[in-house]
Amino acid sequence: MPRSAPTPKPWPSDAWYIACTPDELADKPLGRTICGEPMVLYRGKDGKVAALEDFCPHRGAPLSLGFVRDGDLVCGYHGLAMACTGHAASMPGQRVKNFPPIRSYPAIERHGFIWVWPGEAERADEAKLHPLPWAEDAGWAFGGGLYHVACDYRLMIDNLMDLTHENYVHAGSIGQPEIDEAPVTTRVEGDEVVTTRVMSAVQAPPFWRMALRSAGLPDDGLVDRWQICRFSLPSHVMIKVGVALEGRGGPDADPSAKAAAVVVDFITPETEHSHWYFWGFARQFAVDDPAVTASIREGQRKIFSEDLAMLEQQQENLLRRPDRKLLKLNIDAGGVRSRMMIERAIAAEA
Amino acid sequence: MPRSAPTPKPWPSDAWYIACTPDELADKPLGRTICGEPMVLYRGKDGKVAALEDFCPHRGAPLSLGFVRDGDLVCGYHGLAMACTGHAASMPGQRVKNFPPIRSYPAIERHGFIWVWPGEAERADEAKLHPLPWAEDAGWAFGGGLYHVACDYRLMIDNLMDLTHENYVHAGSIGQPEIDEAPVTTRVEGDEVVTTRVMSAVQAPPFWRMALRSAGLPDDGLVDRWQICRFSLPSHVMIKVGVALEGRGGPDADPSAKAAAVVVDFITPETEHSHWYFWGFARQFAVDDPAVTASIREGQRKIFSEDLAMLEQQQENLLRRPDRKLLKLNIDAGGVRSRMMIERAIAAEA
Amino acid sequence: MPRSAPTPKPWPSDAWYIACTPDELADKPLGRTICGEPMVLYRGKDGKVAALEDFCPHRGAPLSLGFVRDGDLVCGYHGLAMACTGHAASMPGQRVKNFPPIRSYPAIERHGFIWVWPGEAERADEAKLHPLPWAEDAGWAFGGGLYHVACDYRLMIDNLMDLTHENYVHAGSIGQPEIDEAPVTTRVEGDEVVTTRVMSAVQAPPFWRMALRSAGLPDDGLVDRWQICRFSLPSHVMIKVGVALEGRGGPDADPSAKAAAVVVDFITPETEHSHWYFWGFARQFAVDDPAVTASIREGQRKIFSEDLAMLEQQQENLLRRPDRKLLKLNIDAGGVRSRMMIERAIAAEA
């Protein structure tokens, strides 16, 4: 094949992405591709997380099949031990000083997640970690999960920045006709894209009736319902959602009159046509009740699985028709503006 | 890759193909690729069948994941409703007048099947539907099924236009040594290719002994057996088969002296290397006995599954050796002439 | 695509490779790709093994779906019978004299295996069969099995010519720390590459303790342990392994003082990235005890399955990074020199 300039990657590289949860590193190294980079994640010295290329410089075996010994990652094939810097540390009967190093990725554990920086290591800056206020605040409860999704991560962003789809994909749980009727507004606020939809004086759908009950509120009256989707680079979507008793101020109502939460969506590209989807639900009601956490997690797991089927088949359809231009309607503005922000970030890196 | 002229499709497009059975449209739309065209089939206004491109012009989701409302096909992602013409009909909060239309395919329900015309819509002509006399005649009974087959549809035509293979692929059911011994003749009759084989004074094989019994005839005497394969464009093969008491005229024997039937084969290309195979058996004996229908359908299902294994592995072998030329023997004349007729039809369209 | 010179195959063709075991030909023909050649193996006249291209010259069906009749291989589609020479022998109602022949491969049954010669038939020479002394000597017992492995056959050779990996991949069975500590020497002896490692005065690991017991020797004292890997063309690795009571001469100790065996590895390329791995264990202890044979076979099956996981993932990693150069350490010398011998053999054929 003729050589051509490499296609730029369709995601920013100089950013923190969630690679896995602490649970996933409980007993052994984890191999996972993040932003096109096959990585091995593990706990090194003092349990500190580390991320290396998943490629032993000796014979190319995946280091993720190995084990940790004295803080070094030992290849499970012939025992080359790698330091978390990516340099060879030792090997039985060998001098390793001149072994070629492999790539080491900045990694950090924070807010209950393991984050990696797939781009230039020297630009990695902990201050750029996405803040998760609820992760360290007893006034919130959180539950979540992980899906592997076989579609471009940007289709997931589109999905989340326009919740009109709730009415179709999730008709049985969180959809309701008023979503279609309530106008949606999209604006850029600094580094964020914000899509807002408020439905006034509506009946709460099943999921939110459950939430009202959990919050100790009546579930059969009219409510004001809101969805405020907030995109930030590289690919995070935090969605303020909730219902308040009618006329009490909607999202700004007193906590005693509402069931309020944030749908948490961390979207980590794997390849051009697949991603890791770390989803969750941080709530400000019934925060001390683990049964509510479990019930919501299970409900969200089911609801989000409905998105998966749609998104993966949308991806297949788009790959089959690469020449087709899609529409950009008013309801799509959130996704469209988020993609523009991504494009600018990629261009700025180049 | 360098641009090159598109390869012409290896099937005629201006023709009616069976896309599905009415059962398959009972409760929701059906996504199915016909002649390389991903289609969604559904029942629109008044239950009339319709076929559209399976691609929502909004965001590219498969319309087959949606539902029908007031005769329109509503996308299951964001609710764009499409009319059966391929034009957008409505969408919540949107003006759809200027939305780009998608392709609509002529579709019709007839003879117990749903037919589509993947070619130029203006050339679609109901008069060109393949006639199925038995479908509307109480003197016949019909049962059938559908297989997805991972091979070029023309390999299936070859298979059906030369029944010599019965003796090898179906040795345990409908094969018998006399098939190999009886000469086969092939001729072109107008728009049809006809392959004829008659075996005189033979023992009936197991399947036909069952048929004789069902027809109230003795199953242990000598019979005359016939196979008259008839190919017609685009890819239909109707095979008159049967056995008559010896010396009573073979296929022309009085109905009281024979068990006669038509093996029905509608072969619908899916991709270049796969097709939908609508098979069936229309018989003139024991027509009022549904148990016979069920028994024959089950027998045919098993017998045709033997062909599938052979055909799919033949296809793999041919793809592995694209340079190899195959033999064209006397027994292959039916397939060879059918393929010539197909080639001419494709050329006439170009 | 532009035409380019064909890439030479990455294995010698003019050589005997094991294609299958006699068990695999017990009741019907076997289709198997050997060195990139899809073959059908079967027993023809008088039970003599034969190997043909697995491609019927009539319509391209795989001959391996057929059956043997009077020593000829009959195609299961339309009954063309092929002689073991690759010439058509007969077909119902056809003269076959002018049918194009297909390729016939030299095949032979010897030492309990079926061997084929995928290269030039006229160069096939039975004298070049790999000798297997134990196969015909009552002083030995043999048990073995077959794995299909999704990696380049040369990665398996590397694996076997450096047993350092035992300490990592097989830590729980045959690994022991002294393997890493004992120096390995590699030398070329005529047409063979020999890698030798001897560990003196060590504790026997679990597998060898079992062997010592089976040989009627104490399993708790110190032993001398050896691994002498011997590569020969095209891709065979015979490994002398064993333990002797300490100070009794190691591999040269009197039979009454040791448990000695040969790990048998016949590696037959299938495609560039897969191979058939015929493994076994020929031992000189407890030769009359079939329970020991069964137990060792099961142990070896498990141990070698550990290699499979590593090798297949190593292959995937290498394909993902074709630009990476691997290290060639002292422990890799056996594999490196074996590959050089293979390269020379391929060059000599070209």
pLDDT tens digits for range B20-59: 999 999 999 999 999 999 999 999 999 999 999 999 999 9
What is the mean predicted confidence (pLDDT) over A37-51? 97
What mean pLDDT value characterizes chain C? Answer: 94
The answer to whether A326 contacts B58, with C-beta atoms less than 8 Å apart, is yes
- Give the residue from C32, C59, C68, C99 with the most B CB atoms within 10 Å of its CB, the best one to mutate: C59
Query: Residue ranges of the domains in chain C?
Result: 17-128, 133-349
The answer to whether A60 contacts C168, with C-beta atoms less than 8 Å apart, is no
Residues C99-147 have pLDDT tens digits of 999 999 999 999 999 999 999 999 999 999 999 988 889 899 999 999 9
- A78 contact residues in C (CB cutoff 8 A): 162, 164-165, 168, 331
Residue C2 has pLDDT above 50, yes or no: no
CB B297 within 8 A of CB B143: yes
What is the mean predicted confidence (pLDDT) over A317-327? 93
Give the separation between CA C300 and CA C280, rounded to whole angstroms: 8
Q: Which of B57, B72, B63, B10 has the alpha carbon at shortest distance from B38?
A: B63
Give the separation between CA C280 and CA C239, rounded to whole angstroms: 11
Nearest to B61 among A180, A317, A330 (CB): A317
Nearest to B180 among C55, C75, C93 (CB): C93
The answer to whether A317 contacts B79, with C-beta atoms less than 8 Å apart, is no
Give the separation between CA B60 and CA B64, rounded to whole angstroms: 11
As a whole-number percent, the residues of chain A with pLDDT over 90 amount to: 83
What is the mean predicted confidence (pLDDT) over A315-326? 94
Length of chain C: 350
Question: What does the pLDDT read at residue C167?
Answer: 85
For residue C230, the cross-strand partners are C194, C238
Q: Does 3.90.380.10 match the CATH number of domain A133-349?
A: yes
Residues 6+ apart with CB under 8 A from C95: none
Q: Which of C257, C289, C307 has the alpha carbon at shortest distance from C142?
A: C289
Give the separation between CA B334 and CA B17, rounded to whole angstroms: 21
List subunits contacting chain A, requiring 3 or more Cβ pairs under 8 Å.
B, C
Burial letters for C202-211: b for 16+ Cβ neighbours within 10 Å, e otherwise? bbbbebbbbb
Residue A1 has pLDDT above 50, yes or no: no
**Which residue from A minimizes the CA distance to B55?**
A317
Residues 6+ apart with CB under 8 A from B306: B169, B170
pLDDT band at C8 (very low <50, low <70, confident <90, very high): confident
Alpha carbons within 13 A on the beta-carbon side of B50:
27
What is the mean predicted confidence (pLDDT) over A266-281? 97
Q: What SS3 class is residue B110? A: strand
- Give the residue from A75, A77, A103 with the most C CB atoms within 10 Å of its CB, the best one to mutate: A77
Burial-class residue C198 by CB neighbours within 10 Å (0-12, 13-18, 19+).
middle
Residues B125-137 have pLDDT tens digits of 999 999 998 888 9
Give the separation between CA B288 and CA B139, rounded to whole angstroms: 9
Q: What angle is formed at CA A332 by the lines to CA A330 and CA A335, rounded to 5 degrees?
A: 140
What is the mean predicted confidence (pLDDT) over A261-288? 96
Question: What does the pLDDT read at residue C1?
Answer: 39
C-alpha gyration radius of chain A: 22
ipTM over 0.95: no
Residue B183 has pLDDT above 70, yes or no: yes
Give the separation between CA B62 and CA B140, rounded to whole angstroms: 39
Give the separation between CA B285 and CA A190, rounded to whole angstroms: 80
Burial-class residue B93 by CB neighbours within 10 Å (0-12, 13-18, 19+).
middle
For chain A, the residues whose C-beta falls within 8 A of a C-beta of chain B are: 158, 162, 164-165, 167-169, 180-181, 183, 309-310, 313-314, 316-318, 320-321, 324, 326-327, 329-332
What is the mean predicted confidence (pLDDT) over A240-260? 95
Q: Has this prediction a pTM greater than 0.90?
A: yes
* DSSP per-residue string spanning C185-199: EEEEETTEEEEEEEE
pLDDT band at B191 (very low <50, low <70, confident <90, very high): very high
Question: What does the pLDDT read at residue C4?
Answer: 54
List subunits contacting chain C, requiring 3 or more Cβ pairs under 8 Å.
A, B
Question: What does the pLDDT read at residue C121?
Answer: 96
Q: Which of A284, A236, A290, A289 has the alpha carbon at shortest distance from A264?
A: A236
Nearest to C77 among B165, B316, B324 (CB): B165
Backbone angles phi, psi at B111, to 5 degrees: 60, 25
Give the separation between CA C38 and CA C24, rounded to whole angstroms: 16
CB B259 within 8 A of CB B233: no
The answer to whether A331 contacts B59, with C-beta atoms less than 8 Å apart, is no
Give the separation between CA C222 and CA C202, rounded to whole angstroms: 5
Give the separation between CA B195 and CA B335, rounded to whole angstroms: 9
The answer to whether A55 contacts C314, with C-beta atoms less than 8 Å apart, is no
**Which residue from A minimizes the CA distance to C177?**
A92
pLDDT band at C98 (very low <50, low <70, confident <90, very high): very high
Q: What SS3 class is residue C208? A: helix
Topology of the domain covering C17-128: Rieske Iron-sulfur Protein (2.102.10)
Residues C217-249 have pLDDT tens digits of 999 999 999 999 999 999 999 999 999 999 999
Residue A293 has pLDDT above 70, yes or no: yes
The answer to whether A62 contacts C326, with C-beta atoms less than 8 Å apart, is no
Name the DSSP letter for residue C327.
P
Task: Tell me which of C8 and C16 has the higher pLDDT.
Answer: C16
Name the DSSP letter for residue C91.
B
Residue A305 has pLDDT above 90, yes or no: yes
